[in-house]
Structure 1
Amino acid sequence: MSAHTQAVGVGTGHCPLMPTYGPPTVMFVRGQGCWLWDRDGNRYLDLLSGIAVCNLGHAHPRVAEAVAEQARTLCHVSNLYATEPQMQVARALDRLIGGSPGQVFFANSGAEANECAIKLARKWGGRGRHTVISAGRSFHGRTLAALAATGQPEKHEAFVPLPEGFRHVPWDDITELERAIDGTVAAVLLEPIQGEGGVNVPSAGYLRAVRELCDERNLLLVLDEVQTGLARTGRWFAHHHEGVEPDVVTVAKALGNGMPIGACWARTEVAAAFNPGDHATTFGGQPLAASAARATLEVMEELDLPTMAARAGQKMQAALRSLDGVAGVRGRGLLLGVDLAGERLATEVVAAGMAAGLLLGTAGTTSLRIAPPLIIDDAEMDHGIAALDEVLG
């Protein structure tokens, strides 16, 4: 039994955490770059990066210093007032998304960013034109509205009745999408690449066809870039691969490199549908989180992180395909789905990986999700591939 296996578990007796994630299996106390250490000193290579959050790795010094300095200066004033970090991050997001000028609403998570997008679509559409169409196997969050938009019925069952006004169509099927549109529809909500649903990449031209259809029917195109945004797929945003200009974009995960912050960006004329009082949040975009996001975006641009992710992703895909236990690899950049040979259960491989000092995720019953920090170097990648090869063997 390895030292990593011996370290699994956070103690006996009553656990003070609700059982929404199951019993905790390891307790981490420190991180640095692509590595994590548990409370017994065991080291793990992180190939999940907090579920595509720590794109700059753990404890990045620039982000840590920005948070520390902001904590000594100003933590919170509410959104009744403006703060400098908030304004700077909003301008940076508007520039990086590109296309038509837009405006930003800050939240605390991806689910809240999508909640804002759904409410904005309903306000923009007007009474009677409120339906949002999303795709099967999609994932948009755990609030009731975001869950209703999520195209995974097994996640709905325990919480019905869900809010009305949501419709699901098969992923990557423009014909079925067109058939689902009627006079009640205000928006189409899609992930440019499905993350939680299995790292599913649409066929070339699908997003452009959706954009054209939305233009024809006067619908909003809302793109959920919570997991795919901010260099993860080798471009600043995954929709940039297709040259599509959305009406609304939601962002979170990597925005604060671990600090909780999300954002909903919308073209200025779409954002104008909101009036004061239509939507609000106490903590969204507060100075501490916004300062982390400001530093994160600055470092990402200095490093040209999309280029780094694209190059590393090419190498990792080739290495993964060479492994005997791998049946196939899909994805873009460093958001990868790995199909296991012989229909091996992904949960078993994740558990074996942890015992070997390797953190992996699942992308379905027989597929792994690999989303390491985008700063991963060749030596770390080689270590991870060798460890996975041993686990699969």
Structure 2
Amino acid sequence: MNLFNVYPLFNINPVKAQGSFLWDDKGEKYLDFYGGHAVISIGHNHPYYQNKLKDQLEKISFYSNSVQNELQTELAEKLGKLSGYEDYNLFLCNSGAEANENALKLASFHNGKSKVLYFSGSFHGRTSAAVSVTDNPKIVAPVNFSERFIKSEWNDVEQLEETFEKFGSEISSVIIEGIQGVGGIMIPTPEFLSKIKELCEKYDAVLILDEVQSGYGRSGYFFAHQESGVEADIITTAKGMGNGFPVGGVLIHPKFQASNGLLGTTFGGNHLACVASIAVLDVMKDENLIENAQKMGEYIEKEIKDLPHIKSIRRKGLMIGIELDRDCSEVRKSLLFDHHIFTGNSNDKTVLRILPALNIKKEETDLFLNALKVVLGNI
């Protein structure tokens, strides 16, 4: 049997990782400045994280959600405290797409409405409803398409108001990323978020903040939307939540009523997933990683803002998009193969996406900065 060939692959096979570095099967060392799409939040194989998982493996790794699991309670309490959403409830699942599916479903259960408003440039996942609110026709199969899903332009208040005037009585929820990642590090204006919140309240729609990539301290806030002062009804999270262990979560306002069987999952909230997630929160708190994300993000922006071929820098914390005056693919390849540094791209072909671990150090950052200066200087 062969693998189903859906991923374009670099010819690199990482076999070991530590901190912000990877080593391939030939012993070559690479700086990880992308974290596997913002998944690696506290660095590869952080010793505290490793030890927590090893200890749990010696106890119990899985049982179903038909029994008590005190680790879920510990995770919910710590997540609420660090995020500032202590009065919310937590539903645990396995991925960002699954979190978004459950958020959309919960919103529809809550108000009995069926339409969903999403935005240009969005990416919310590849599963049924999640891909229907993703702005990429290439990955939306005919079975996923429905007129229930309405697209509005990013940061366009006027069109937003017009859409609500036309469909407001039918709109169940509005789903928006705290910062668009795949879309090219597109940041919503505070005015835009405030208007969405206002219209959701006016028309009894649910505001869903997708913080799958922009959450967990990456923006310099626990969740990116918190900078605007807007309170979401439902927040979805994943990626950096488990530092590589598959886990997702839905933070749910107390106005939503739970009932047996309303939502469900086999693997979500299992013992290992909870321990991984608890370890991430402990490290983030003890090592002040949200503050470090803001500090190192500012340092990167300061050092690159005057480099040639950079048109703009889109940044919050360590969620950084470097817009070039050309397709970024050759720059990205040069960083990877000439300088052994992993970076990312986006749907905007000119944007180089930078998502290092939140505990990145200055000396590691300087490796990236020096390489970028060389690559851009040689164009």
TM-score, with structure 2 as normaliser: 0.94
Q: Could you tell me which of 348, 362, 373 is aligned with 2:330? A: 348
| Structure 1, unpaired ranges of 5+ | 1-13
Q: Which amino acid aligns with 2:142?
A: V
| Residue aligning to 2:90 | 104
Matched, 1:178 2:161: yes
Match of 1:91 among 74, 77, 95: 77
Partner of 1:67: 53
Gaps of 5+ in 2: none
Aligned positions of 1:340-379 closer than 5 A:
340-341=324-325, 343=326, 345-355=327-337, 356-363=339-346, 364-379=348-363
Does the residue aligned with 1:120 lie in a helix, a strand or coil?
helix
Matched, 1:315 2:299: yes
What is the DSSP-based 3-state SS (H/G/I as helix, E as strand, rest coil) of the residue aligned with 1:361?
coil
Runs of 4+ in 1 over 4 A off after TM superposition: none
Determine the structure 1 residue equivalent to 2:8: 22
Q: 1:1-393 to 2 correspondence within 5 Å?
A: 16-99=2-85, 101-126=87-112, 129-156=113-140, 159-164=141-146, 165-181=148-164, 182=167, 183-270=169-256, 272=257, 274-341=258-325, 343=326, 345-355=327-337, 356-363=339-346, 364-392=348-376, 393=378
1:238-272 deviation per Cα after TM superposition (whole angstroms, max 9, x unaligned):
011111111000000011111110001111222x1
Give the Cα–Cα distance (whole angstroms) in 2 for the partners of residues 373 and 317 of structure 1. Answer: 16
Deviations 1:353-392 (A, max 9, x none): 1102010100221110001111111111111111122222
Per the TM alignment, residue 204 of structure 1 is displaced from its structure 2 partner at its CA by 3.2
Q: What secondary structure, in the 3-state scheme, does the structure 1 residue paired with 2:218 have?
A: coil
Give the match's secondary structure for 1:41.
coil
2:194–2:230 contact (8 Å) kept in structure 1: yes
**1:217–1:100: structure 2 CA closer, same or farther, 3 Å change rule?**
farther
* 1:106-129 residue CA offsets vs partner (Å, 9 max, x unmatched): 111100000110110111121xx1
> Does structure 1 retain, via aligned residues, the 8 Å contact 2:213–2:238?
yes
Offset from partner CA, 1:124-168 (integer Å, 9 cap, x none): 121xx1111111110000102100011223332xx1131532111
Distance (Å, rounded) in 2 between the aligned partners of 1:78 and 1:320:
49
For residues 24 and 309 of structure 2, what CA distance do their matches in structure 1 show? 28
In structure 2, the CA distance between the partners of 1:318 and 1:54, relative to structure 1 (3 Å rule), is same
Distance 1:32 1:319 in 2: 26
Letter in 2 for 1:162: N
CA displacement at 1:100 relative to structure 2: 6.9
Q: Find the aligned partners of 1:233 and 1:118 in 2 and give their Cα distance.
A: 24
Amino acid at match of 2:108: R
The aligned residue for residue 4 of structure 1 is none
Change in Cα spacing, 1:381 to 1:209, as seen in structure 2 (3 Å) is: same
- Corresponding letter in the other structure for 1:352: S
CA separation in 2, counterparts of 1:163 and 1:268? Answer: 32
Asked whether the equivalents of residues 192 and 207 of structure 1 are also in contact (C-alpha less than 8 Å), the reply is: no
- Judged with a 3 Å threshold, the aligned counterparts in structure 2 of structure 1 residues 99 and 264 are, in CA distance, closer, same or farther, namely closer
Give the distance between the partners of 2:52 and 2:155, measured in 1 at CA.
41
Partner of 1:8: none
Aligned residue-pair number: 371
The whole-number CA distance in structure 2 between the counterparts of 1:386 and 1:17 is: 38
Separation in structure 1 between the aligned mates of residue 192 and residue 299 of structure 2, nearest angstrom? 26
- Percent identity reads 36
What is the rounded CA distance, in whole Å, between the counterparts of 1:147 and 1:303 in structure 2? 36
Q: Distance in 2 between matches of 1:287 and 1:195?
A: 29
Decide whether the 8 Å contact of 1:105 with 1:265 is kept in 2.
Answer: yes
Indicate if the aligned counterparts of 2:77 and 2:86 stay in contact, CA closer than 8 A.
Answer: no
What is the distance in 1 between the residues matched to 2:352 and 2:121? 16
> After superposition, what is the alpha-carbon deviation per residue over 1:9-54, rounded to whole angstroms, capped at 9, x for unaligned?
xxxxx8x322111245211011111111111011111110111111
Normalising by structure 1, what TM-score? 0.91
Mean alpha-carbon deviation: is it higher for 82-91 or for 361-370?
82-91
